[in-house]
């Protein structure tokens, strides 16, 4: 039995759970016009959760690491940093998605309830300290995501992609569970630190490696890394943009935490076995992501392939030791902020009855609205990793960690494909700045969305000043794992 | 000495002004222009104390600012100038004023963005010359690509998209390997400071790899044969002001990079591979000179002539190694390369501005469309002939000084090097003067030419200022050489000590 003292550390999760239930009930009584209340409730819930999370780090004694519920759950520095980032991203997601749902006439309370349940799943994935807890978080997030992808139920593309996502996701979950059971068989435990200990003492590495491969497949699928990336473009394209906005940002952070907990914390002992697999997955992702993105005409699909390549870059960091994990963490945090801004821009440019899905919909944006063209320029340049934007520094840090370990060829291939990748980003800039506009449609987005988006894009520049402190957080987070 | 952060001011003033101009919006073009002009002039004025306060008796970095930026990666905001960087900074601020002025009437679309892009470009270029931290250098080095990409792509000619993407991909591809080399050097020495990198001892194999990475970045930028093909395209499509900045300053960054990175950090590899670089430089001088001769488009001709002249810069830099071995006058080679860079900054800028003057009136750059321009534009004719002469290296103009110094020092190294490089005096004269003959002299070619009006006061002013600079540097180059003498001496000490 656990008392109140055990419940305080999970206060953020409880708040999100309560908010999700409240929004679910409220949604029954609110119409689309009065939907602002739902958004406000969700935002309030996330802000309270953020306060509850941050509170543990205020004052004299600082929270370093706290294992709860018989070793099923952990509150640590990394988890809290990632959770705060996720809250931040969710605020963007809530604000951007409102307008989109209204335009498409699919504004319902369930959307926000599902997102909040997804957020809860993310938080559990970040804080799980036992394979089963991690798996439960993962499934909570996945089930919410399936429903969110299928949310636009009269749209066949949305349904098709949800179906694909569900079937492939279920297979991946199966693989993951199978792998976990192997590890359990070899070590006799599912708890992360105990697995780590058991591996260092056991000599039954055959079974462990066997399980490891299945686990890696599951992790790679959830991250959307090649060669398990097939679902990413279809889901990104088919899902309503508000959903894509969500699944392209916050869950990536959860998947990072999931990978760190499993690979770095529990399977650290078999690093020599998994480093080659991860290297191949990372390289394949970078290569496939960048090459396929060159061909795309749909911007959501393009972003999907670009996500794959970014995930590859992030995975490269896993080869770089402790420095590498903090590099990956920095990478995924900055990437999630870029990605949410990129999809936010698509939402802002869409309006009633029209979705800015094709790259050609960005034509002549500079003439239509110079400010948003500039914002998009910042986002795209940051994704492409052009200095002085923050995307460059996250790549730099990963490359540094990789070169540090002597993987020169890997680093070389990664930068060559970064150059190839720059071409499709340039194509978007080209379309915005050099081409003539095809429509002179006004940008109808509300002031709130516009200002938040501008803030989000300007973050790509403003974060330059905060790189040292964010990096220090990441380094500390990995050190205190 | 450094109470008011002069270098930071030079970098940040244009950046802040650029954002302010962007915020003005598209409807206040006149104000945007005035504001940009004001900023450019102010930056130029600020570079006067830089020249005045510079102490040419020491090779140490001056006006140093060093603030920690990203401590966990040991990246510092570390600025400073020596005798090699300082003239190039002054060149940058000087040319920027002229480009802003040259675009005054010509650009009508999105004026505020144009001006903002130029000011950002100026800031990045000054930053490149000031940066004493390799990562800061890299940030500035790459960040200037985006404004230039937009300048060519938005305000350029009909084939601008192809040209600008080619420009971007070439330079980006070149520089990413430098990034890996810099990271490697950081791993070895634990510091991104350029001066620390020069202290690390490296084996010859390591040096050769690092040299190649640097070489790729700077050879594309300067550009050297055979990675020069982006330059003619970019020049032809860029608006006049863009061409001017590209030719006058951006190309110099390649040469500056060789001097700042390749020579001190990898002296043995540079010495080992100097032969290849010299060969490529000679190919550029001779072969590209011949290519320039057959061009039909004036801008393309000047672009090829730029590549050929940049061949002199790389020749001057790397002939130094042959001279070290033989005990010749190494200083003269490197100083010649520097003088050539500054001089080419003036001359190429002037030539592109001349073409711009014609293009604004006739909207064609084809040599065949012109003829007898001197009959309707006598003043322009005079300037154009003068700058073409200096491009050909006429004694008394700045074009002569650098080339002559380099030819002299290559003579000490090898007769055939000198012979081949001296061919440029013939080829340069041939393509420059032949172009002038066909454009300026002869019968009035067409109705359109007969209706040309001579240069406005604004245009005359720009070209006159450049003419004074070219003549001044040509007749009395001593102040420029004096500024860099000690720094070049220091550089030579660095390259003569083996690091293996």
The alpha-carbon gap from A131 to the nearest alpha carbon of chain B, in Å, equals 33
Tokens found for residue B467: 């003419």
The pLDDT of residue A465: 85
Report whether pLDDT(B183) > 80. Answer: yes
Check residue B1 and give its pLDDT.
Answer: 45
What pLDDT, in 10s, does the model give residues A129-160?
999 999 999 999 999 999 999 988 888 888 99
Disruptive mutation site among B72, B188, B190, B239 for chain A (greatest number of A CBs within 10 Å): B72
Residue A61 is predicted with a pLDDT of 62
Peptide bond into B226 cis (omega under 30): yes
- For range B171-177, the mean pLDDT: 87
Q: What's the pLDDT at A270?
A: 85
Q: How many CA atoms lie within 13 A of B365 on its CB side?
A: 24
A129–chain B nearest CA distance, Å = 29
Find out whether A27 and A108 touch, Cβ atoms under 8 Å.
yes
Residue numbers in B near A403 (CB within 8 A)? 180, 183-184, 187
Please indicate if any CB of chain B lies within 8 Å of the CB of A443.
no
Distance (Å) from the C-alpha of residue A154 to the closest C-alpha of chain B?
A: 41
Lowest mean pLDDT among A125-139, B124-138, B183-197: B183-197
Chain B residue closest to A463 (CA)? Answer: B70
Q: What is the DSSP letter of A435?
A: S
Domain count, chain A: 1
Taking the C-alpha atoms of residue A337 and residue B481, their distance in angstroms, rounded to an integer, is 50
Compute CA distances B55 → B49, B86, B131, B485, whole Å.
11, 11, 19, 11
Domain range for A413 is 4-479
pLDDT at B457: 87
* pLDDT of B467 over the 60 cut: yes
- Residue of B180, B185, B192 to mutate, testing the A interface (most A Cβ within 10 Å of its Cβ): B180
Q: Identify the three-state secondary structure at position A351.
A: strand
Work out the average pLDDT over B309-317.
Answer: 90
Contact A426 B168 (CB under 8 A): yes
Cβ separation B149–A366 shorter than 8 A: no
Q: Judge contact between A116 and A23, C-beta under 8 A.
A: yes
pLDDT in the model for residue A328: 93
Check whether B435 has a pLDDT greater than 60: yes
Q: Which two tokens stand for residue A421?
A: 């990748």
The predicted-structure confidence for B75-96, as pLDDT tens digits, reads as follows 888 898 888 888 999 999 999 9
- Supply the DSSP symbol for A59: S
Establish if A430 touches chain B: CB-CB under 8 angstroms.
yes
Other beta carbons within 10 angstroms of residue A110's beta carbon come to: 17
Q: Of the given ranges (A64-68, A423-427, A477-481, B169-173), which has the lowest mean pLDDT?
A: A64-68
Rounded distance between C-alpha atoms, residue B303 and residue B352, angstroms: 9
pLDDT score at B454: 85
Q: What is the pLDDT of residue B324?
A: 79
Q: What is the mean pLDDT of residues B159-181?
A: 89
How far, in Å, CA of B462 to CA of B446, rounded? 28
Residue of chain A nearest B187, judged by CA positions: A404
Sequence-separated (6 or more) residues with CB below 8 Å from residue A344: A92, A96, A245, A449, A452, A453, A456
- CB-count burial class (<10 Å; 0-12, 13-18, 19+) for B445: middle
- Check whether B2 has a pLDDT greater than 70: no
For B42, phi then psi, to 5°, come to -60, -40
Structure tokens at A407: 């993987």
Q: What is the pLDDT of residues B269-284, one digit of tens each?
A: 888 888 899 999 999 8
Q: Omega of the bond prior to A264 within 30 degrees of 0, cis?
A: no
- State the pLDDT at residue A469: 87
The helix/strand/coil state of A68 is: strand
Q: Where are the domains of chain B?
A: 6-496
Rounded CA-CA distance A312/A304 in Å is 13
Q: What is the pLDDT of residue B3?
A: 55
Smallest CA–CA distance, residue A389 to chain B, in Å, is 9
Q: Residue A388: is its pLDDT beyond 80?
A: yes
Encoding tokens for residue B228?
């020069």
- Over range B300-306, report the average pLDDT: 91
Interface contact A387-B138, CB threshold 8 A: yes
Region A116-132: mean pLDDT is: 93
Element containing residue A66 per DSSP (H, E):
strand A65-68
Helix (H) or strand (E) holding A73: strand A73-76
Check if B110 contacts A (Cβ < 8 Å).
Answer: yes
Higher per-residue pLDDT: B499 or A413: A413
Give yes or no for B48 touching A (CB within 8 A). no
Tokens of B356: 């711009």
Reported residue count of chain A is 481
Would an 8 Å CB–CB cutoff place B177 in contact with chain A? yes
Mean pLDDT of B36-54: 89
B102 near B247, Cβ under 8 Å?
no
Share of chain A above pLDDT 70, in %: 98
Subunit contact B177:A412, Cβ cutoff 8 A: yes
Question: What's the whole-number mean pLDDT along residues B454-464?
Answer: 88
Q: Say if CB B249 and CB B278 are below 8 A apart.
A: no
More confident residue, A354 or B261: B261
CB-based contacts of A393, cutoff 8 Å, min separation 6:
A334, A387, A464, A467, B70
> Do B150 and A400 lie within an 8 Å CB cutoff?
no
Chain A residue numbers touching B210 (CB-CB < 8 A):
none
- The confidence band for A63, taking pLDDT boundaries of 50, 70 and 90, is low
pTM: 0.91
**B169 and A415: CB-CB below 8 Å?**
no
Alpha-carbon span B357 to B461, nearest angstrom: 12
**Neighboring chain B residues of A475 at a CB cutoff of 8 Å:** 72
- Please indicate if any CB of chain B lies within 8 Å of the CB of A322: no
Question: Can you tell me the distance from the alpha carbon of A181 to that of A168, in angstroms, rounded to the nearest whole number?
Answer: 20
Task: Determine whether A390 is exposed, middle or buried from the number of CB atoms within 10 Å of its CB (0-12, 13-18, 19+).
Answer: buried
Q: Looking at CA atoms only, how far is residue A413 from chain B in angstroms?
A: 10
pLDDT at residue number A2 = 61
As given in the structure block, the two tokens for residue B178 are 């430098």
Could you give the CA distance from residue A278 to residue A267 in angstroms, rounded to a whole number? 13
A422 at interface of B, judged by CB pairs closer than 8 A: yes
Mutation target to probe the A interface, by most A beta carbons within 10 A, among B21, B109, B142, B146 is B146
| Confidence band of A358 (pLDDT split at 50, 70, 90) | confident
Number of residues that this document lists for chain B: 500
Nearest to A468 among B72, B143, B180 (CB): B72
Q: Mean pLDDT across the stretch A118-137? A: 93
What pLDDT was estimated at residue A59?
A: 64
Q: Does any CB of chain A come closer than 8 Å to the CB of residue B149?
A: yes
Dihedral sign (CA B429, B435, B437, B440)? negative
Spatial contact of B30 and B132, defined as CB atoms under 8 Å apart: no
Do β-strands B62-70 and B75-81 pair in parallel, antiparallel, or remain unpaired? antiparallel
B227 vs B239: CA distance, rounded Å: 22
The band of A1, judged by pLDDT with boundaries at 50, 70 and 90, is low
ipTM value, please give it: 0.87
Contacts of B160 in chain A (CB under 8 A): 434
Question: Is A370 within 8 Å of B110 when comparing Cβ atoms?
Answer: yes
Q: What are phi and psi of A364, to 5 degrees?
A: 60, 25
Chain A residues with CB under 8 Å of B139 CB are 387-388, 392
Residue B161 clears pLDDT 80, i.e. is over it: yes
Mean pLDDT (chain A, rounded): 88
A396 interaction partners in chain B (CB closer than 8 Å)? 73, 135, 179, 183
Query: Which of A388, A425, A435, A479 would you mutate first to test chain B, the one with the most B CBs within 10 A?
Result: A388
SS3 assignment for chain B: CCCCCHHHHHHHHHHHHHHHHHHHCCCCHHHHHHHHHHHHHHHHHHHHHHHHCCCCCCCCCEEEEEEEEEHHHCEEEEEEECCCHHHHHHHHHHHHHHHHHHCCCCCCCCHHHHHHHHHHHHHHHHHHHHECEHHHHHHHHHHCHHHHHHHHHHHCCCCHHHHHHHHHHHHHHHHHHHHHHHHHHHHHHCCCEHHHHCCCCCCHHHHHHHHHHHHHHHHHHCCCCCCCCHHHHHHHHCCHHHHHHHHHHHHHHHHHHHHHHHHHHCHHHHHHHHHHHHHHHHHHHHHHHHHHHCCCEHHHHHHHHHHHHHHHHHHHHHHHHHHHHHCCCHHHHHHHHHHHHHHHHHHHHHHHHHHHHHHHHHCCCEHHHCCCHHHHCHHHHHHHHHHHHHHCCCCCCHHHHHHHHHHHHHHHHCHHHHHHHHHHHHHHHHHHHHHHHHHCCCCCCCHHHHCCCCCCHHHHHHHHHHHHHHHHHHHCCHHHHHHHHHHHHHHHHHHHCCCC
From chain B, the residues in CB contact with A471 under 8 A are 70, 72-73
> How would you class B442 by CB atoms within 10 Å of its CB: exposed for 0-12, middle for 13-18, buried for 19 or more?
middle
């Amino acid at each position: 039995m656990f008392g109140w003292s055990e419940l305080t550390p999970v206060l953020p999760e409880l708040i999100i759970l309560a908010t999700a239930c409240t929004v679910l009930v409220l949604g029954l009584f609110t119409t689309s016009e009065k939907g602002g209340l739902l958004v406000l409730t969700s935002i309030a819930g996330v802000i309270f959760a953020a306060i509850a999370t941050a509170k543990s780090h205020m004052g004299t004694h600082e929270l370093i690491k706290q294992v709860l519920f018989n070793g099923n759950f952990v509150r640590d520095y990394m988890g809290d940093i990632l959770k705060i980032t996720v809250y931040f991203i969710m605020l963007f997601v809530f604000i951007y998605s409102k307008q989109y749902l209204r335009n498409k006439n699919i504004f319902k309370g369930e959307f926000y309830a599902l997102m909040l349940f997804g957020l809860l799943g993310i938080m559990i994935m970040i804080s799980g300290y036992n394979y089963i807890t991690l798996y439960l978080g993962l499934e909570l997030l996945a089930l919410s995501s399936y429903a969110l992808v299928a949310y636009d139920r009269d749209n066949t593309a949305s349904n098709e992609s949800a179906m694909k996502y569900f079937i492939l996701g279920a297979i991946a979950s199966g693989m993951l569970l199978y792998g976990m059971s192997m590890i359990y068989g070899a070590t006799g435990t599912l708890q992360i630190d105990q697995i780590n200990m058991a591996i260092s003492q056991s000599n039954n590495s055959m079974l462990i490696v066997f399980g490891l491969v299945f686990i890696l497949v599951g992790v790679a699928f959830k991250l959307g890394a090649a060669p398990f990336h097939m679902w990413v473009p279809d889901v990104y394209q088919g899902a309503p943009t508000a959903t894509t906005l969500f699944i392209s940002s916050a869950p990536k952070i959860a998947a990072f935490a999931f990978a760190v907990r499993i690979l770095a914390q529990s399977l650290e002992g078999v690093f020599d076995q998994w480093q080659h697999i991860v290297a191949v997955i990372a390289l394949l992702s970078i290569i496939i992501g960048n090459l396929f993105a060159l061909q795309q005409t749909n911007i959501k699909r393009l972003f999907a392939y670009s996500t794959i390549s970014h995930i590859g870059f992030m995975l490269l960091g896993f080869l770089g030791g402790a420095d590498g994990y903090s590099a990956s963490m920095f990478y995924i945090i900055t990437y999630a902020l870029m990605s949410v801004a990129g999809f936010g821009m698509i939402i802002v440019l869409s309006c009633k009855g029209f979705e800015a899905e094709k790259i050609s919909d960005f034509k002549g944006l500079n003439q239509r609205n110079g400010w948003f063209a500039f914002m998009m320029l910042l986002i795209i340049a940051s994704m492409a990793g052009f200095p002085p934007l923050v995307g460059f520094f996250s790549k730099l840090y990963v490359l540094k960690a990789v070169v540090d370990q002597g993987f020169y060829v890997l680093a070389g291939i990664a930068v060559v494909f970064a150059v190839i990748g720059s071409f499709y980003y340039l194509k978007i800039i080209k379309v915005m700045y050099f081409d003539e506009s095809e429509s002179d449609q006004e940008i109808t987005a509300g002031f709130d969305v516009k200002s938040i988006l501008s803030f989000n894009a300007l973050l790509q520049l403003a974060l330059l000043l905060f790189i040292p402190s964010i990096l220090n957080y990441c380094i500390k987070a990995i050190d205190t794992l | 000495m450094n109470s008011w952060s002069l270098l930071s001011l030079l970098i940040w003033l244009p950046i802040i002004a650029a954002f302010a101009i962007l915020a003005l919006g598209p409807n206040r073009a006149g104000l945007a222009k005035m504001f940009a002009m004001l900023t450019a002039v102010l930056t130029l004025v600020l570079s006067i104390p830089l020249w005045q306060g510079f102490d040419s008796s020491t090779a140490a970095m001056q006006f140093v600012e060093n603030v920690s930026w990203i401590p966990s990666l040991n990246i510092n905001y570390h600025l400073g100038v020596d005798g090699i960087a300082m003239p190039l900074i002054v060149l940058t601020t000087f040319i920027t004023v002229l480009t802003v002025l040259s675009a005054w009437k010509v650009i009508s679309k999105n004026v505020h963005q144009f001006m903002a892009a130029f000011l950002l470009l100026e800031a990045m270029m000054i930053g490149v010359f000031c940066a004493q931290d390799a990562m800061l250098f890299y940030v500035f080095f790459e960040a200037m690509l985006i404004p230039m990409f937009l300048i060519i792509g938005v305000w350029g000619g009909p084939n601008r998209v192809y040209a600008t993407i080619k420009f971007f991909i070439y330079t980006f591809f070149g520089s990413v390997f430098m990034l890996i080399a810099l990271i490697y050097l950081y791993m070895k020495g634990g510091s991104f400071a350029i001066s620390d990198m020069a202290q690390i001892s490296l084996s010859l194999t390591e040096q050769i790899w690092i040299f190649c990475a640097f070489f790729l970045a700077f050879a594309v930028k300067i550009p050297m044969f055979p990675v020069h093909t982006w330059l003619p395209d970019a020049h032809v499509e860029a608006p006049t002001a863009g061409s001017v900045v590209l030719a006058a300053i951006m190309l110099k960054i390649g040469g500056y990079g060789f001097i700042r990175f390749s020579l001190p950090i990898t002296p043995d590899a540079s010495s080992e591979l100097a032969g290849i670089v010299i060969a490529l430089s000679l190919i550029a001088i001779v072969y590209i000179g011949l290519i320039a001769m057959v061009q039909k488009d004036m801008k393309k001709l000047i672009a090829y002539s730029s590549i050929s002249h940049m061949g002199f810069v790389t020749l001057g830099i790397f002939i130094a190694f042959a001279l070290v071995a033989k005990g010749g006058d190494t200083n003269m080679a490197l100083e010649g390369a520097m003088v050539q860079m500054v001089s080419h900054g003036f001359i190429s800028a002037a030539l592109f501005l001349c073409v711009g003057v014609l293009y604004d009136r006739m909207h064609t750059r084809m040599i065949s469309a012109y003829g007898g321009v001197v009959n309707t534009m006598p003043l322009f004719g005079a300037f154009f002939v003068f700058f073409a002469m200096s491009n050909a290296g006429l004694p008394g103009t700045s074009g002569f000084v650098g080339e002559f110094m380099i030819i002299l020092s290559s003579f000490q190294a090898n007769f055939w090097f000198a012979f081949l490089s001296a061919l440029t005096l013939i080829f340069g004269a041939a393509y420059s003067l032949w172009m002038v003959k066909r454009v300026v002299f002869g019968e009035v070619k067409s109705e359109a030419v007969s209706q040309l009006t001579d240069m406005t006061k604004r245009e005359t002013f720009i070209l006159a200022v450049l003419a004074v600079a070219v003549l001044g540097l040509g007749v009395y180059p001593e102040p420029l050489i004096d500024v860099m003498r000690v720094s070049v001496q220091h550089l030579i000490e660095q390259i003569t000590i083996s690091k293996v």
